[in-house]
Structure 1
Amino acid sequence: MAEKESMYWLGDWRRIPICTFFKDARLVFKADSLGREILSIALPAAMALTADPIASLVDTAFIGQIGPVELAAVGVSIALFNQISRIAIFPLVSVTTSFVAEEDTLNEACPLVEKSKCLEEAPIMADEIKELMPRKDTGGNDQILDLVGIDFKVEHKRKHIPSASSALVIGGIIGLIQTMFLISAAKPLLNYMGVTSDSPMLSPAQNYLILRSLGAPAVLLSLAMQGIFRGFKDTKTPLYATLAGDVTNIALDPLFIFVFRLGVSGAAIAHVISQYLISVILLWSLVKKVDLIPPSIKHLQFDRFLKNGFLLLIRVIAVTFCVTLSASLAARQGPTSMAAFQVCLQIWLAVSLLADGLAVAGQAILAGAFANKDYEKAKATASRVIQLGLVLGLALAFILGTGLHFGVKLFTEDVNVLHLIRIGIPFVAATQPLNTLAFVFDGINFGASDFAYSAISLVVVAIVSIICLLILSSAGGFVGIWIALTIYMGLRAFVGFLRIGTGSGAWELLRS
């Protein structure tokens, strides 16, 4: 009796939602079907996500050889461009991934059923054809049977996914709007970032930002297409396209910057060319897989995109404002502080995006599991991805904390900038577990289509973080900014933990 009671208590304990974080923790590295599925999506996605920030780091390294003023100027422009782009990109990509995964999962069953029926009926149809054919040529009849079988087995049609078409239309329109906005408002935006009219950073920053903005349509389209491929659980195609574009960017940088003597403008031109190359490669691959021309405009899902995209837009504005404000506060402290902050921020973002690969895997698998009402797979996926995220964060913290001190001279030779970078390294390393968990929780909640909670919770986090940034930057300068960013990422991880750990919203299934 006592044994039964203890077993009942143990089973009841395991139903506590927070126990999801520890479920089957010993299997975290097991190469079972779920582990292989997560790895096949996460690894290429992480490589693709980090490829662009790494290319930006290469840009930073090349520009750093020109001088600290140019390095700081480009740092402000990249921060501004990336944050404005993120406002448009993040809602579009996140919503597209979930919607495409849901539609693809639900549509897969129908063709398979029809195909199986066709294959069952194929021998009957072949026999009927044989009865109508002369019996002199047996080989001919076998050939007809073979042709009938082949007709049913190899007929492949491009998928019709309304969300894919909608994402491309929305991405193209937003990209054009972003280009016009950045070109017309470049100077006021830079002034807001702390680059005033009398600053030596203004001219190079403005030139870089205007030229870089010409690639905004390509950036939006390419990332919309990446969202589509992620929904299909195909992260290899975006990886190949991104690598091709970034290798082109890295090859063109020294050519335009030093050989043609275009300076920071050359770096911007190289980046724009690479983005259009990525878009062309992705579009060429996508048209083979998806019928992008809908039967009518009614088949597009603008209302669904706008409703959920608006929630994520609120969320990303809150996130963007925090990061942009931190860059602005660093810029106000002068070129030296901004140059150091730019290097630390690019490393921080590039390395943290490795965790976004796990988030993409979690989102794609969970969206399909929820669409199929396969809640056991949803629980198992959430547990595995969270555990992998924590392990990854700890590993990144160790690697950066021990190895980054030796590589900072790649970015600049300025003694003052190097001094500040070394002060920022402990924060870049120590925040990695928080960053990875924050990104993973985001992906999991997006996979459950819990967009409303994600938006509201991040607005609250942003308000608290902005207050911390203003107070701590004033009191502690460069160090104060990084303390505030640490608080910000800690709060992001906490609100993601809170939703799943309490089993609320879409995660009430954890109580069953």
Structure 2
Amino acid sequence: MAEKDFTCWENPSCILFKDVRSALKLDELGVEIATIALPAAMALTADPIASLIDTAFIGQIGPVELAAVGVSIALFNQISRIAIFPLVSVTTSFVAEEDSMKGASLAIEEDDVSSKDSEDKMLIPQKGLDEKMHRLDSAKSFDIGEVEQGKKQIASAPSALIIGGILGLLQAVFLIITARPLLSFMGVKYGSEMSKPAEQYLKLRSLGAPAVLLSLALQGVFRGLKDTKTPLYATVSGDLANIILDPIFIFVLKMGVRGAATAHVISQYLIALILFWRLQRQVELLSPSLEYLQLGRFMKNGFQLLIRVIAVTFCVTLAASMAARLGSTEMAAFQVCLQVWLASSLLADGLAVAGQAILASAFARKNYSRAAATASRVLQLSLALGFCLAVMLGFGLHFGARIFTKDADVIRLIGVGIPFVAATQPINSLAFVFDGVNFGASDFAYSAYSMVIVAIFSIIALLVLSSTCGFIGIWIALTVYMSLRALAGFWRIGTATGPWEFLRS
């Protein structure tokens, strides 16, 4: 039965200020959020940090190679997000819902067995009781999806892996075949000084697409199980391998940008293998039948998020394209600022993952007091994190720009982008966490169509401001874009509509 004993939310728009004094409190909810969010944040930032290290190594080759790889990384990441984001988000919610409901079923079965135990001891011999308990245990294992080996049967897990593997292969083929026209669209014309290194890097890195999609699908399953430590260990192991192999391939073997791409591909396959090995010990990954899989459910909700991701991807890719059209110096500076911007902002995604997993479980059990408290807590924590990041980046990036390049013109433009990178951190944090909150409520349709509206206004801003204000204009437009994303996320909860109607009760 649905819980209705939560504190009355007379004004749902005040969710950011509800019990704000408890935002940093390490109560039961605070500990659960921290347990999920901290490893998730570290895992999420590991890959961008590895990309930053790639950028730093490649920057030592020259500004042309730095700009070329910057375009390729931006293109690869944005194409990947088209498949990754819907897959991971849907997997996390579905696995959390299934695991939560099966946990509830187990608790009910245990209560039934306990009550029948006391009755049966008075009515039947011990031998008959043992046989009955055996039958109950067998039925319980079947009903809640446990197999003899002790592995969980969660239909969303094999479904996610099948879809992830297929999408990864399709992405690899697509990027290898269309590398040249895609780079041309990004402003890297065939025959230009950036063309050859950009194409080399993109084609080689595309070979790792199947591993990237599969490992992210696996991470989605672990997140749904509220286990973010395993993905952290796997990601750190892979990225450490990348960091070790980078200088060997780039400088010792003199492979240049091809070496950076090769090191990254090896690291991605290592991550996928570690995650698969760990998951197959906990979850049954060999589906008994096609009917058992939830491919239709995945496709329906995944398509809605696909619309959202295409809108997001187009905005960020267009920004990179506008920077590339300004020249290699502007693109090199934009690449450094963008990588720092994304790496720091993704820290908030750890909170988004925690919010999504806990909220999906709460909504599955109709525990609305838990849902309301979780949404409020993770949003307040996101604001605190955003302000901390703003201060750290505002000071740190001024002194750290030379890590990425020695070119004076690139360093000067990085200085122009620093205020935008730092000042937008609170906005970015809120936007990411609002995404996780709405995904936890399985509000995929609203998330998709609201982002389309945001993208339309953001694209107009990018086209106008980049042509009139150049490099600065691109960053002003990106600030507008993230502000609109945060507003769209807030609107659903603030108006208490959709799955949040209970806030009016």
Q: Under TM normalisation by the shorter chain, which class is it?
A: over 0.9
TM-fit CA distance, 1:110: 2.4
Please state whether the residue corresponding to 2:326 is helix, strand or coil.
coil
1:62-141 to 2 correspondence within 5 Å?
62-115=57-110, 128=125
Matched, 1:343 2:336: yes
**Partner in structure 1 of residue 393 of structure 2:** 400
TM-fit CA distance, 1:19: 2.0
- The whole-number CA distance in structure 2 between the counterparts of 1:379 and 1:496 is 15
**Partner in structure 1 of residue 291 of structure 2:** 298
1:449 partner letter: S
1:49 partner letter: L
**Partner in structure 2 of residue 474 of structure 1:** 467
* Candidates 163, 168, 190, aligned match of 1:175: 168
**Partner in structure 2 of residue 495 of structure 1:** 488
- The whole-number CA distance in structure 2 between the counterparts of 1:197 and 1:475 is 27
Aligned length: 489
2:32 partner letter: E
**Partner in structure 2 of residue 160 of structure 1:** 153
1:282-297 to 2 correspondence within 5 Å?
282-297=275-290
Matched, 1:18 2:2: no
**Partner in structure 1 of residue 216 of structure 2:** 223
**Partner in structure 1 of residue 416 of structure 2:** 423
1:336-375 to 2 correspondence within 5 Å?
336-375=329-368
1:491 partner letter: L
Instruction: Detail structure 1 runs of 4+ shifted over 2 Å in the superposition.
Output: 109-125, 127-132, 150-156
* Candidates 479, 490, 499, aligned match of 1:486: 479
- The whole-number CA distance in structure 1 between the counterparts of 2:364 and 2:128 is 46
Encode CA deviations 1:214-235: one digit per residue, 9 max, x unaligned: 0000000000010000001110
- The whole-number CA distance in structure 2 between the counterparts of 1:210 and 1:252 is 19
Encode CA deviations 1:15-43: one digit per residue, 9 max, x unaligned: 21112221100000100000000000110
Please state whether the residue corresponding to 2:26 is helix, strand or coil.
coil
Please state whether the residue corresponding to 1:381 is helix, strand or coil.
helix
Greater alpha carbon shift after TM alignment, 150-159 vs 48-57: 150-159
TM-fit CA distance, 1:404: 1.3
2:277 partner letter: W
2:351 partner letter: L
TM-score (normalised: structure 2): 0.93
* Candidates 18, 37, 62, aligned match of 2:32: 37
Please state whether the residue corresponding to 1:332 is helix, strand or coil.
helix
TM-fit CA distance, 1:199: 1.1
- The whole-number CA distance in structure 2 between the counterparts of 1:423 and 1:303 is 48
Matched, 1:325 2:314: no
**Partner in structure 1 of residue 500 of structure 2:** 507
**Partner in structure 1 of residue 190 of structure 2:** 197
TM-fit CA distance, 1:62: 0.3
Question: What is the RMSD of the two structures over their aligned residues, measured on CA atoms?
Answer: 2.4
Please state whether the residue corresponding to 2:291 is helix, strand or coil.
helix
Please state whether the residue corresponding to 2:87 is helix, strand or coil.
helix
2:11 partner letter: I
Encode CA deviations 1:277-302: one digit per residue, 9 max, x unaligned: 00000000100111011110111111
Matched, 1:244 2:237: yes
TM-fit CA distance, 1:112: 3.5
- The whole-number CA distance in structure 1 between the counterparts of 2:499 and 2:105 is 27
**Partner in structure 2 of residue 232 of structure 1:** 225
1:100 partner letter: V
**Partner in structure 1 of residue 450 of structure 2:** 457
Identity within the alignment, %:
68
* Candidates 32, 41, 52, aligned match of 2:47: 52
- The whole-number CA distance in structure 2 between the counterparts of 1:163 and 1:219 is 19
- The whole-number CA distance in structure 2 between the counterparts of 1:389 and 1:87 is 25
Please state whether the residue corresponding to 1:36 is helix, strand or coil.
helix
- The whole-number CA distance in structure 2 between the counterparts of 1:369 and 1:326 is 38
**Partner in structure 1 of residue 370 of structure 2:** 377
**Partner in structure 2 of residue 5 of structure 1:** none
TM-fit CA distance, 1:115: 4.4
1:417 partner letter: V
1:28 partner letter: A
- The whole-number CA distance in structure 1 between the counterparts of 2:234 and 2:103 is 26
1:442 partner letter: D
TM-fit CA distance, 1:109: 2.2
1:50 partner letter: T
1:510–1:113 Cα change, 3 Å: closer
**Partner in structure 2 of residue 253 of structure 1:** 246
- The whole-number CA distance in structure 1 between the counterparts of 2:361 and 2:60 is 48
Greater alpha carbon shift after TM alignment, 340-349 vs 497-506: 497-506
* Candidates 61, 86, 100, aligned match of 2:56: 61
Please state whether the residue corresponding to 2:192 is helix, strand or coil.
coil
Greater alpha carbon shift after TM alignment, 269-278 vs 498-507: 498-507
Encode CA deviations 1:225-251: one digit per residue, 9 max, x unaligned: 100000011100000000000000000
TM-fit CA distance, 1:113: 3.6
Please state whether the residue corresponding to 1:351 is helix, strand or coil.
helix
Encode CA deviations 1:53-91: one digit per residue, 9 max, x unaligned: 000000000000000000000000000000000000000
TM-fit CA distance, 1:156: 6.4
**Partner in structure 2 of residue 442 of structure 1:** 435
Encode CA deviations 1:420-452: one digit per residue, 9 max, x unaligned: 001000000000011000001100000011111
TM-score (normalised: structure 1): 0.92
